[in-house]
Amino acid sequence: MRLPAMLKACADAGTDLVVIDGAAVARDVAYEAARHADFILIPTKTAVFDTMSMTHTLDVVRQLDRPFSVVLTFVPPQGQETGDAIKAVAELGASVCPVTIGSRKAFFRAQAAGQAVQEFEPHGPAAEEIRRLYEYTDIQLFRQEAA
């Protein structure tokens, strides 16, 4: 309910980028966040049930005709799960972000310390993944502005 007021306050303050992290299971929250979005990242774990459970989020995003990409998270270092998840996302008619977020201890340790992974381990692989995800998102937003 506070989102429109918060976005107005951000605009008034000259904010260039706002990241909205909402609970996908709360359809009204997902809808409201997506309604204001220029580009949407839909995170999902590589487990088949997690991948399939994002169908409600995909429905919301498609209903609003917003550009989006699915980001695979908690990606294991090896195994067939990543390939299976990419295939499942494709079967749902969605695109997969080329940047994946690994299942790394640094994310959990940073969270326990109340930090972002870039603060906790700035030169580690987890921070690099987040940097690459930011760059990908920035490129997608630039494309939206140019269109």
Q: How confident is the model at residue 127 (pLDDT cuts 50, 70, 90)?
A: very high
- Which CATH architecture fits 37-146? 3-Layer(aba) Sandwich (3.40)
Mean model confidence pLDDT for the chain: 89
Q: What is the pLDDT of residue 110?
A: 96
Q: How far apart are CA 86 and CA 2, in angstroms?
A: 35
Annotated domain spans of the chain: 37-146
Q: How confident is the model at residue 106 (pLDDT cuts 50, 70, 90)?
A: very high
Q: How confident is the model at residue 128 (pLDDT cuts 50, 70, 90)?
A: very high
* Whole-structure pTM value: 0.86
Nearest alpha carbon to residue 58 among 89, 87, 20: 89
What residue type is 36 in one-letter code? H
9-65 pLDDT, tens digit per residue, is: 999 999 988 888 876 666 677 788 888 888 999 999 988 778 777 888 888 889 988
